[in-house]
Amino acid sequence: MSNTENKPMFEPSGAGVVSCDQWWMEVGSVDLDGEVVTIQKGNDLLAALSPRDDGRLRVAVFHSLDSKSIDYLTELSRVPHPEHGVCMRANNWEYALDCSAGSGNAYAADRGEAYLSYWQHGVGISWDGSELPDWRMHKDLPPRLASEVVAELMSYSKLDSDAGPIAFSPVDQTETASSAFSGQASAPTLQRTAQESFHGCLLGGAVGDALGASVEFMSHREILKRFGPEGISEYAPAYGGLGKITDDTQMTLFTAEGLLRAWVRECLKGITTYSGVTAHAYLRWLQTQGERPRNDIMFGDEEPGWLFQQKELHSRRAPGNTCLAALRSMSALGDPAKNDSKGCGGVMRVAPVGLFGWSLGMQEKPDEVFKLGTELAALTHGHPTGGLTGGVLAVLILSLVEGASLPDALTKAKGLLLREAQHQETLRAIEAAEALALSYQGDTGLSHAEAIAQLGQGWIAEEALAISIYCALVARDFRQGVILAVNHDGDSDSTGSITGNILGALHGVQAIPEVWLEPLELRHVIAEMADDLYAFKSWDVEDDRVWEKYPGY
């Protein structure tokens, strides 16, 4: 596209809608005698925001904007999610009100940085009606030309590769909000098909796993020292390369394979046990780690199936000691582990259960999906929490693929959890994550890192699940959620993987940055497994190729 085509076409002083893929705002004039949220710095009134009829923002800019001021504008003007709204608020104006109330604004003002203020009765009028002359004097400031504001936003957008190109559309500020917004390219774009959610779930888990792989055994302080103040945000070398997966994704793939092989067995032999056949799959994973069970359990080496033949899987990637020990000592396929472990190695691998349940049409039987997720996690982790967290994650994935919001999916999963004995520990962890997510934006004064630290380090099941739920709830997009999930003191690859599963199922594969997908180890194998989980009900099970790929044992 030529430079001419990129230029916004509008009258320099006219109002208009400025938008990109991630945010949308109307730039024009704002009544400073009415209710406004302002961006201030020192003694200057930089910008003012007021609500439109549709809850989006109208913005007037009075002075040059620094990067933090632009961050405020674009963050508060983000495109609402079709299910979650704007950070779980009803609209942009409600989000702006919450952000202006945060205690972080006072700290920013003390540091001489830009900050937000709320004026209910107009600029310079305090809550009790008294006048503040130093601010009231700004009430007649003329707004800057729209052309200048758009130019600043365009210049800034070049530094944000995720935002996409900026568009401008002139608009008469007297027209209705609905007509001004209709047809904008920045309307919610996160609609996705179920198949895209399947891909998003498995590939999202894998990229979270790979991003966390290099920092799994580092403290948060060590991560910041090595990667800078934002922490790790791109792949770093691990296991001999970039984008390498760990045992989390390996075992997730064998979970999916076990479920498919159990279904093939049921179709062709009329009898199956999903926990037993999946346990057999985990023993094949154990063999990829160079080990075998101590007891006499047949592997079926003569028909290993497609997944076992992927040579990249035959590599030890810091497998969990509990998983190894439980599988080495397994005496009967499908029996729960004879230990009291609640490490995260059970929950980290069960996302395929939710996908499998969706394809089987179990949306109206979430209790069965919960039970299966619990049973598969319990194959290696015998503590009730080690199993129940697997049931919760399986139902979350089932519900998200079906189209539920994350809060609604959590409500359904918690309802099923409450029916189980010894559910209290898991429930407390989930509710702690929800409470911290709802209180974020400065009300508690906690940063994301501090909130995650309150939830734990993720080495044990309920902590890994809680951290992942928190990161998924507060994230504005897939990328931010996964970055939050790997930058902490604990089990970064597992929390990255579970968060990636959740956000990938919620938003679909299109939400995952290509810069993470392109170098991902076994990307095409993972995508093929997602396709098989989605489409298996349509297979001709009499076709020999089905048994060759997924032998029924």
Strand order in the sheet with 16-19: 115-119, 36-41, 44-51, 57-61, 24-27, 16-19, 167-170
Q: Are 487 and 220 in contact (CB under 8 A)?
A: yes
Averaged pLDDT, 473-492: 95
Structural domains in the chain, CATH included, are 3-169 (no CATH), 194-549 (1.10.4080.10)
Place 536 in a pLDDT band, splitting at 50, 70 and 90. very high
pLDDT of residue 178: 33
pLDDT tens digits for range 321-369: 999 999 999 999 999 999 999 999 999 999 999 999 999 999 999 999 9
pLDDT of residue 188: 23
- Paired with 170 in beta bridges are 16
Tell me if residue 169 falls in helix, strand or coil.
Answer: strand
pLDDT of residue 472: 96
Handedness of CA 448, 451, 457, 462 (dihedral sign): negative
pLDDT of residue 367: 98
pLDDT tens digits for range 109-119: 888 999 999 99
In terms of DSSP H, where are the helices of 403-522?
Answer: 406-417, 424-439, 448-455, 461-474, 478-486, 492-507, 514-517
Q: Across the chain, what does the average pLDDT equal?
A: 88
pLDDT of residue 279: 97
- Paired with 39 in beta bridges are 47, 116
Averaged pLDDT, 486-508: 97
Averaged pLDDT, 490-518: 96
Averaged pLDDT, 122-134: 88
Residues comprising the binding site for Mg(2+)?
A: 246-248, 491, 493-494
Averaged pLDDT, 41-61: 94
Averaged pLDDT, 76-87: 81
Averaged pLDDT, 487-506: 97
Strands 24-27 and 57-61: parallel
Averaged pLDDT, 257-269: 97
Place 146 in a pLDDT band, splitting at 50, 70 and 90. confident
Averaged pLDDT, 463-483: 96
Residues comprising the binding site?
A: 246-248, 491, 493-494
pLDDT of residue 163: 54
Averaged pLDDT, 512-539: 96
pLDDT tens digits for range 192-242: 689 999 999 999 999 999 999 999 999 999 999 999 988 999 999 999 999
Averaged pLDDT, 111-128: 90
Amino acid at 392: V
Copy the structure tokens of residue 382: 């015998």
Averaged pLDDT, 83-108: 79
In terms of DSSP H, where are the helices of 239-345?
Answer: 247-269, 274-288, 321-328
Neighbours of 310 (CB within 10 A): 13
67-81, 183-197, 239-253, range with greatest mean pLDDT: 239-253
Q: For 229, what's the count of Cα atoms within 13 Å in the CB-facing half-sphere? A: 0
Q: Are 286 and 292 in contact (CB under 8 A)?
A: yes
pLDDT of residue 230: 86
Question: What is the H or E stretch that residue 384 is in?
Answer: helix 384-402
Q: Are 392 and 465 in contact (CB under 8 A)?
A: yes
Place 1 in a pLDDT band, splitting at 50, 70 and 90. very low
Copy the structure tokens of residue 468: 């992942």
pTM exceeding 0.85:
no
Percentage above 70 pLDDT, the chain: 88
Q: Give every CB contact of residue 160 below 8 A, 6+ residues apart in sequence.
A: none
pLDDT of residue 336: 96
Among 81, 190, 88, 83, CA closest to 404:
83
Place 177 in a pLDDT band, splitting at 50, 70 and 90. very low
Give the CA distances from residue 302 to residues 257, 299, 305, 312, in Å, rounded to whole numbers and listed in that order.
Answer: 17, 8, 9, 20
Tell me if residue 239 falls in helix, strand or coil.
Answer: coil
130-144, 275-289, 299-313, range with greatest mean pLDDT: 275-289
Give the CA distances from residue 347 to residues 67, 101, 309, 376, 530, in Å, rounded to whole numbers and listed in that order.
Answer: 41, 37, 25, 9, 19
- In eight-state DSSP terms, residue 18 is E
pLDDT tens digits for range 380-431: 999 999 999 999 999 999 999 999 999 999 999 999 999 999 999 999 999 9
Say whether pLDDT at 249 is over 50. Answer: yes
Amino acid at 436: L
Q: Are 19 and 25 in contact (CB under 8 A)?
A: yes
Q: How far apart are CA 491 and CA 472, in angstroms?
A: 16
pLDDT of residue 17: 84
Higher pLDDT, 130 or 241: 241
Q: Are 157 and 166 in contact (CB under 8 A)?
A: yes
Averaged pLDDT, 425-442: 89
User: Using only C-alpha atoms, what is the Rg of the chain?
Assistant: 26
